[in-house]
Amino acid sequence: MKKVLTVFRDEFRRIFALRPVFAVLIVGSAFYAVFYPQPYLNEALRDVPIAIVDGDGTSVSRELARRIDATSDIAVTLVLPDLVSAQREVYARKIFGILVIPKNFERDLLHGRASPIALYADASYFLVYQRVSGGVTAVARTVGAEVEAARLIGIGVDPVLANAASDPMQLTAVPLFNPQGGYATYVLPGAFVLLLQQILLMGVGLLGALPGPVPAENATDCPPPGPFATVAGKMLAYLLLEAVILPLYLLALPYFYGLPRLGGVVPILIFAVPFVLSVSGLGLVVAAIFKNPLSVQLVLAAIGWPFFFLAGFAWPTEVIPPAVHMASLLVPSTSAINGFTRLAQLGAPLADVRAEFLMLWGLALFYGGIVWILEVRRRRPDRRNVRIAVA
Amino acid sequence: MLARRELRPGFWLVFRREIDWLRRRPFLLAFVTIVPLALMALLTAIFSAGLATRLPIAVLDLDSSDLSRSIIRMVDATPDTAVAVRAGELAEGRGMILSGKVHGLLMLPQNLERDVFAGRRPEVVFFYNTQTLTIGNLTLRGVSAAVPTAAAGIRLSLRTAQGQPIEEAEAALSPIPVQTHALFNPTLNYVFFLLAAILPSLLQIVVVTASAYSVGIDVETRHRLRILRRLGGGLWPAMAGKVLPYTVVFLMVLGLSDAVLFGILELPLRGRGWLLDIAGLLFILSCQFLGVLLALLLKPTASAVSVGTLLTSPAFGFMGIGFPRLGMDAFAYGFGAILPGTWYLTARIDQTIRGTPLDLSWKPILVLLAFVVGFAGLVALRLESMRAHAARDAAGALPALKEALP
């Protein structure tokens, strides 16, 4: 036990003594915390500019345009004479949608005929497309229902029945957990977990690959720590470090950026233990494979970010090929992003993330075991040296 | 004769030296070839479905009428959603959302059918998980396509029951139908949207960090830069000889990934191929010179690689694919503007799915060209100043040495 503590103390000291490690773990953590969320801070896309091509030019068509402009999603910035000139503006990225109101729009509507309008929405950016098509469709439906109800009342139908006939069964959509549909609320909880993994992987990888400063001064008195003590002591050091960084990322930052959190603190911290252990284990394995600190840095820089897309966050797990999904479970973030998000954002009890929790413990044991075997091997006396010594 | 010509200083000598050097460093060679290609293969496999269909949702049917059953059938029949489970009560459905089994819960209230035909306008409620925004919206799209279709049938029968002619009743169902056309990506395919943007972003990380690394190693030992310059017979040939071998490698990696995107995944090329190639070349060169510049400004190499990682690995968010730059604040918009990837993706989207007319295509390409010229100029300036420094140090050291000697 004393040896575990010795290793723990030495390793913890190395985090602050080795400049590259300090830069990654401490400076990197601080930098990402401020820098990464910047693109998403506005949460929602508002007032996406579109153009209107009004072939009708009547009071009803102008009223429709005005009501579309009044939504928070869309702003009508241009009124153009024809579709061709409007298309050029789309190519130039000045506008992201074209609403064409055909001639006789008002006449058809007032005569009780279906009076279609055409929307061309830019689908090269999906969020833009969603905003424009959602906004226009909602306005057209409301205006349409009003027109229909007014007409029914006009021919003498009871107003209550008229409304029922135009909308007999309402669909109420209740968004859960992220009611505003904010983009930061969506992407940041998962991204913070990925950043934690990336920073810890890089830090531990560097600690494993860099030659350390000579450890404790009394090292000569007692025999060097055994393989188990070495692994346990190091893990303890990383756990202590993450006891500061992880709550900062998963509790303080979400609070600071105004992200809703439904889950309690305790389940999050319990879930964090196997996450930190498995990531640390993976970091030490990466260090053992690549040995050179620069190689560790380069490889982790390249592979760290694509892990985000494995987690079923940006792209549903159900449509990821099963073999790829199985392989992706070897990376802690795949289970951790899902687990942490459900615990914190959805307020799920620990029992609901049992599968992810057990998977992370499994990974912690798996990578910890590999590191332990590597330590045992490292200690085995090198045969060549022995032979030279005998000679 | 031949050997002498080969040894003449110049671009080719540096170029060959670099290739030899790369051959003797299997790690770096793997890092600029196998690593990006393997990651691209992985990402391609993830998104290979292109469309997310039949996402599981749960249904809580409290009515068990013909109407409620037909609604469930219609929801199950939309491409977006699949009714995976029947929940017995609300809490059970909620639990299934929390544990991630389903993405939403459709609740059909008691007496739905009776109330609909009595004109009481009952509510059908769909609870969906918007924590995973895109997936939640997809399930909503499915449900909100299916339920109004079911409602339309009822409205039709309500009206014809009142003696309205069927054509008139049909027209009245939807007085202002919106015919929505999704420009440039009519099927809303994620391969064309997300994957096509992720692959260059990944290459940006690899190119910047690998360039910082390969040059950083030369910078760390001072005389190496002098040797390079002498081998090249001047600043520019030496720089070109050092940088271009990697340009060729990266272009091959980009070409391979594009071959898969265009050839197998059928990403359309509606614009001009040659313009896309120019943009690709300029993108890789600007990333390379950015990496080189970092290596010349920051020592040791580890710091240059770290800063390169810090700049490029969170870059995807700033390039405005997921959340468009249109909605960003000034800082994020500005930072996005100084990333080569932002402009390359703009040019790519222009030339692949959008098919932007030629006269509107030049801006991102000119910006990339400005990056290449600017970064290369800064690299040259920095090299010149480092050389002047070294010369001054040497000049200062010489008299001191003479004095010290007896």
CATH 3.40.50.20 given to domain A48-166: no
When CB atoms are compared, the residue of A41, A91, A170 closest to B123 is A170
- pLDDT above 50 for A388: no
- Give the closest-approach CA distance of B124 to chain A in angstroms: 5
Q: Is A256 on the interface with B (CB under 8 A)?
A: no
Q: Which A residues 292-321 touch B at CB under 8 Å?
A: 292-295, 297-299, 301-306, 309-310, 312-316, 318-321
- For residue B149, the model assigns a pLDDT of 79
State the helix-helix crossing angle for B133-161 and B66-77, rounded to 10 degrees.
140
Q: What's the CA gap between A283 and B51, in Å, rounded?
A: 34
- pLDDT above 80 for A324: yes
Cβ-defined contact of B209 to A302 (cutoff 8 Å):
yes
Q: What's the CA gap between B250 and A183, in Å, rounded?
A: 33
Cβ-defined contact of A166 to B179 (cutoff 8 Å):
no
Q: Is A113 on the interface with B (CB under 8 A)?
A: yes
Cβ-defined contact of A341 to B158 (cutoff 8 Å):
no
Residues in B touching A181 (Cβ below 8 Å): 130, 133, 137
Cβ-defined contact of B324 to A346 (cutoff 8 Å):
no
When CB atoms are compared, the residue of B176, B186, B318 closest to A115 is B176
CA-based nearest residue to B208, from A298, A156, A192, A59 = A298
Q: Are strands B55-61 and A74-79 parallel, antiparallel or unpaired?
A: unpaired
- For residue B95, the model assigns a pLDDT of 86
Cβ-defined contact of A305 to B121 (cutoff 8 Å):
no
- For residue B171, the model assigns a pLDDT of 67
Chain A interface mutation, best of B29, B46, B311, highest count of A Cβ atoms under 10 Å:
B46
Shortest CA distance from A290: residue in chain B: B27
Report residue A227 as tokens.
């393989």
CA-based nearest residue to B265, from B43, B48, B53, B42 = B48
Chain B interface mutation, best of A117, A130, A298, A313, highest count of B Cβ atoms under 10 Å:
A298
Shortest CA distance from B311: residue in chain A: A35
Q: Which B residues 264-303 touch A at CB under 8 Å?
A: 301-303
The more confidently predicted of residues A27 and B397 is A27
Q: Are strands A48-54 and A74-79 parallel, antiparallel or unpaired?
A: parallel
pLDDT over 70, % of chain B: 93
Q: What's the CA gap between B269 and B349, in Å, rounded?
A: 10
- Give the closest-approach CA distance of B204 to chain A in angstroms: 9
- For residue B403, the model assigns a pLDDT of 63
- For residue A310, the model assigns a pLDDT of 87
Give the gyration radius of chain A's Cα atoms. 30
Cβ-defined contact of A174 to B126 (cutoff 8 Å):
yes
Chain A interface mutation, best of B37, B94, B178, B179, highest count of A Cβ atoms under 10 Å:
B178
Q: What's the CA gap between A301 and A328, in Å, rounded?
A: 18
Q: Is B131 on the interface with A (CB under 8 A)?
A: yes
**What 3-state class would DSSP assign to B233?**
coil
ipTM above 0.95, yes or no: no
Chain B interface mutation, best of A90, A152, A171, A286, highest count of B Cβ atoms under 10 Å:
A171
Cβ-defined contact of B314 to A169 (cutoff 8 Å):
no
pLDDT tens, residue by residue, A331-378: 999 999 999 998 988 888 888 899 999 999 999 999 999 999 988 888
Query: For the ranges A191-205, A224-238, B361-375, which has the lowest average pLDDT?
Result: A224-238
Shortest CA distance from B128: residue in chain A: A175
> Strand pairing partners for A175?
B128
Degrees to nearest 5, angle at CA A48 with A46 and A50: 155
Q: Which B residues 223-252 touch A at CB under 8 Å?
A: none
Look at phi and psi of residue B320 and say left if phi exceeds 0, alpha if psi is from -120 to 50, else beta: left
The torsion angles phi and psi of A244, rounded to 5 degrees, stand at: -95, -50
- Give the number of residues written for chain A: 391
Does residue B300 have a cis peptide bond before it, meaning omega lies within 30 degrees of 0? yes
Which strand (E) or helix (H) includes residue B85? strand B81-86
Cβ-defined contact of A40 to B323 (cutoff 8 Å):
yes
- Give the closest-approach CA distance of A124 to chain B in angstroms: 6
User: What's the pLDDT band for A134 if we cut at 50, 70, 90?
Assistant: confident
- Give the closest-approach CA distance of B321 to chain A in angstroms: 6
Shortest CA distance from A310: residue in chain B: B46
Q: What's the CA gap between B220 and B212, in Å, rounded?
A: 12
pTM: 0.88
The more confidently predicted of residues A153 and A37 is A37
Residues in B touching A313 (Cβ below 8 Å): 132
User: What's the pLDDT band for A221 if we cut at 50, 70, 90?
Assistant: low
The average confidence (pLDDT) of chain B is 85
User: What's the pLDDT band for A214 if we cut at 50, 70, 90?
Assistant: low
Residues 6+ apart with CB under 8 A from A40: A183, A184, A187, A188, B317, B323
Q: Is B313 on the interface with A (CB under 8 A)?
A: yes
User: What are the sequence ranges of the domains in chain A?
Assistant: 2-40+180-390, 48-166
Cβ-defined contact of A144 to B176 (cutoff 8 Å):
yes
Q: Is B56 on the interface with A (CB under 8 A)?
A: yes
Average pLDDT for B116-142: 85
Q: Is B347 on the interface with A (CB under 8 A)?
A: no
**What 3-state class would DSSP assign to B130?**
coil
Residues in A touching B148 (Cβ below 8 Å): 171
Report residue A385 as tokens.
């040296």
Cβ-defined contact of A118 to B178 (cutoff 8 Å):
yes
Residues 6+ apart with CB under 8 A from A88: B357, B360
- Give the closest-approach CA distance of B241 to chain A in angstroms: 23
- pLDDT above 50 for A391: no
User: What's the pLDDT band for B364 if we cut at 50, 70, 90?
Assistant: very high
* Single-letter amino acid, residue A18: L
- For residue B2, the model assigns a pLDDT of 45
When CB atoms are compared, the residue of A128, A175, A177 closest to B324 is A128
- Give the closest-approach CA distance of A198 to chain B in angstroms: 10
Chain A interface mutation, best of B99, B131, B213, highest count of A Cβ atoms under 10 Å:
B131
Q: Would you give the DSSP letter of residue B122?
A: P
- For residue B340, the model assigns a pLDDT of 93
When CB atoms are compared, the residue of B186, B193, B323 closest to A183 is B323
- pLDDT above 90 for B191: no
pLDDT tens, residue by residue, A57-94: 888 888 889 999 999 889 999 888 888 999 999 999 99
Cβ-defined contact of B317 to A36 (cutoff 8 Å):
yes
The torsion angles phi and psi of B127, rounded to 5 degrees, stand at: -90, 125
- pLDDT above 70 for B125: yes
Cβ atoms of B289 and B375 closer than 8 Å: yes
Average pLDDT for A86-106: 90
Q: Is A75 on the interface with B (CB under 8 A)?
A: no
Q: Which domains does chain B have, with CATH numbers?
A: 2-46+189-400 (no CATH), 55-173 (3.40.1710.10)
- For residue B396, the model assigns a pLDDT of 72
- For residue A151, the model assigns a pLDDT of 78
